């Protein structure tokens, strides 16, 4: 698959604007690198991979590539979260912890969580749209993310705390930069301070051991208090900013392509092949893996276009080659997931995803995202609430600047006039 990027359509121009607002230098650099080939060595950055098939090979190869070497996620997150979270582990220890955590986000659990913490803010969203109010969907997404944070860390579910919880979590992710393999000492101290405040209630919930809270469930799975607190912090960092970024971008893409038309009218044709992570909220149905046309396919395609994890990092553990390019122990490998996905063209839900691309933005192999079912449940809950209001339209928007995950600073939504 070639990595040459197709000329953008009108809707996709907004996506490029979001990318350049968030990373004015890094995004242009990555696009220029991709034009030189699928695997390119870039000084101060690393070996950049922008081909989906090669990216999947690297992510699935835990013999030659690791998350714990120089320039890997461990350099970023171990000083903040400690050494025993899925973000910065490999080998038998990673396998053992992942196996213990594998039952956390079952369909029943994520459905119950969304019902508990999202019902009120989403009912308010639908009501306000039906009443003809203009609603900032970014603010709604922040409140929903904050509600999930409060639930995950065992805080009381207090609506007044939701937006603050999201802002605190996003402060940590904003510190990450592509060309810097680790945080500065001052940033590490601040990140520890912020996460310490956010996860303080997780310690209480862990000690109480109630199965109704995530920390309590981690206690029941046999994690130590330190491991549980680190796991909670990791879930906050990986699941918060991505949702706040994706949900408004999904709705904007639907608006820009004429698909934001109310209940039963968000549709497309075509099918998808099977994907990592199985069925459920991702839109896969039946033993043959065929996809349910319509809303699910639109969500999947929006994930491809927006890419919740635009870049993934690995460190070379054993000398090998990537696409014919030699790499040595200690080399940093930058998997440009964004470019791998964008190489397949503009937003087109009717077009099936090829096997090498399937849900690459959630990872691959032993590091496929554990929290994917929860993310998908939250995404569908918000989209359902928007569609339930009736035909809506985006009335204004503004790109967020200097953020880790590109997104909108504001996206105004209003019911379409029927007159």
In this prediction, residue 325 carries a pLDDT of 96
Question: Do residues 275 and 291 make contact, with C-beta atoms less than 8 angstroms apart?
Answer: no
Q: Inter-axis angle of helices 107-117 and 372-388, to 10 degrees?
A: 50
pLDDT in tens, 371-398: 888 889 999 999 999 999 999 999 999 9
Report the distance separating Cα 215 and Cα 204, nearest Å: 9
In this prediction, residue 179 carries a pLDDT of 66
Structure tokens at 52: 């989906």
State how many domains the chain has: 1
In this prediction, residue 54 carries a pLDDT of 97
- Domain of 85, CATH number, reads 1.10.630.10
Q: Band the pLDDT of 413: cuts 50, 70, 90.
A: very high
Place of tokens 């929006």: 302
- Name the burial class of residue 338, with classes exposed (0-12), middle (13-18) and buried (19+) by CB atoms within 10 angstroms of its CB: buried
Lowest mean pLDDT across 263-267, 288-292, 310-314: 288-292
- What number is the average pLDDT over the span 363-370? 86
Domain of residue 375: give its range.
10-414
- What number is the average pLDDT over the span 108-126? 89
Residue 5 within a domain = no
Residue 264 within a domain = yes
Of 223 and 400, the structure prediction assigns the larger pLDDT to: 400
Residue 1 within a domain = no
Report the distance separating Cα 72 and Cα 76, nearest Å: 7
- What number is the average pLDDT over the span 215-240? 83
Question: Do residues 327 and 316 make contact, with C-beta atoms less than 8 angstroms apart?
Answer: yes
In this prediction, residue 267 carries a pLDDT of 44
In this prediction, residue 47 carries a pLDDT of 96
Report the distance separating Cα 16 and Cα 404, nearest Å: 15
Which string of b and e fits 39-55 if b means at least 16 CB within 10 Å?
Answer: bbebeebbbbbbbbbbb
Within 10 A of 128 (CB to CB), how many other CB atoms are there?
17
In this prediction, residue 394 carries a pLDDT of 94
CA distances (Å), origin 254, targets 153, 265, 349: 33, 11, 10
Mean pLDDT, rounded, of the chain: 83
Please name which of 297, 276, 269 lies closest in space to residue 383, comparing C-alpha atoms. Answer: 297
Q: Inter-axis angle of helices 372-388 and 137-153, to 10 degrees?
A: 140
Residue 3 within a domain = no
Torsion on CA atoms 394, 148, 18, 264, rounded to nearest 10: -40
In this prediction, residue 6 carries a pLDDT of 45
Structure tokens at 18: 């979001």
- What number is the average pLDDT over the span 266-286? 36
Residue 325 within a domain = yes
pTM of structure? 0.83
In this prediction, residue 160 carries a pLDDT of 66
Residue 419 within a domain = no
What is the torsional sign of CA 33, 38, 40, 42? positive
In this prediction, residue 214 carries a pLDDT of 81
pLDDT in tens, 127-153: 999 999 999 999 999 888 888 877 777
In this prediction, residue 9 carries a pLDDT of 57
In this prediction, residue 261 carries a pLDDT of 63
pLDDT in tens, 349-363: 988 999 999 999 999
Sorted by sequence, the CB contacts under 8 Å of residue 344 that are 6+ apart come out as: 1, 52, 304, 351, 353, 354, 357
Please say if the pLDDT value at position 162 is more than 60. yes
- According to DSSP, the residues that pair with 284 across neighbouring strands are 291
What is the torsional sign of CA 137, 139, 141, 143? negative
Residue by residue, DSSP assigns 349-388 as TTSPPPGGGTTGGG--GGGS-TTHHHHHHHHHHHHHHHHH
- According to DSSP, the residues that pair with 326 across neighbouring strands are 321
pLDDT in tens, 83-106: 767 777 777 877 888 887 877 888
Place of tokens 């937006």: 163
Q: Band the pLDDT of 157: cuts 50, 70, 90.
A: low
């Amino acid at each position: 698959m070639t990595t040459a990027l197709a000329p953008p359509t009108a809707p996709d121009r907004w996506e490029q604007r979001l990318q350049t607002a968030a990373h004015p230098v890094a995004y242009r650099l990555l696009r220029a690198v991709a034009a030189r080939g699928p695997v390119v060595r870039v000084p101060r950055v690393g070996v950049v991979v922008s081909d989906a098939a090669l990216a999947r090979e690297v992510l699935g190869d835990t013999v030659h590539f690791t998350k714990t070497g120089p320039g890997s996620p461990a350099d970023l997150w171990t000083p903040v979260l400690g050494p025993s979270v899925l973000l910065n582990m490999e080998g038998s220890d990673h396998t053992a912890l992942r196996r213990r955590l594998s039952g956390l986000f079952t369909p029943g659990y994520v459905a119950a969580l969304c019902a508990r913490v999202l019902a009120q803010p989403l009912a308010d969203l639908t009501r306000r749209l039906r009443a003809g109010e203009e609603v900032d969907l970014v603010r709604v997404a922040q409140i929903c993310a904050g509600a999930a944070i409060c639930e995950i860390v065992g805080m009381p579910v207090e609506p007044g705390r939701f937006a603050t919880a999201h802002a605190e979590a996003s402060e940590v992710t904003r510190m990450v930069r592509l060309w810097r393999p680790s945080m500065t000492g001052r940033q590490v101290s601040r990140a520890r301070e912020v996460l310490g405040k956010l996860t303080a209630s997780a310690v209480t919930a862990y000690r109480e051991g109630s199965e109704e809270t995530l920390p309590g469930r981690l206690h029941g799975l046999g994690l130590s208090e330190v491991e549980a607190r680190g796991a909670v912090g990791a879930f906050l960092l990986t699941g918060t900013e991505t949702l706040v970024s994706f949900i408004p971008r999904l709705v904007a893409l639907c608006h820009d392509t004429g698909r934001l038309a109310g209940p039963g009218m968000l549709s497309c044709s075509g099918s998808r092949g099977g994907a990592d992570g199985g069925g459920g909220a991702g839109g896969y149905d039946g033993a043959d893996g065929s996809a349910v046309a319509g809303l699910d396919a639109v969500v999947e395609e929006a994930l491809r276009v927006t890419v919740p994890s635009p870049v993934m990092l690995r460190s070379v553990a054993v000398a090998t080659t990537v696409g014919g390019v030699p790499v040595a122990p200690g080399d940093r490998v930058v998997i440009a997931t964004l470019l791998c996905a964008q190489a397949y063209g503009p937003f087109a839900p009717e077009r099936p995803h090829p096997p090498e691309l399937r849900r690459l933005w959630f990872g691959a192999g032993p590091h496929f995202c554990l929290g994917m079912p929860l993310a998908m449940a939250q995404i569908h809950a918000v989209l359902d609430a928007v569609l339930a209001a009736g035909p809506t339209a985006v009335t204004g928007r503004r790109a967020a600047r200097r953020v880790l995950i590109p997104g909108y600073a504001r996206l105004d939504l209003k019911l379409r006039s029927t007159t």
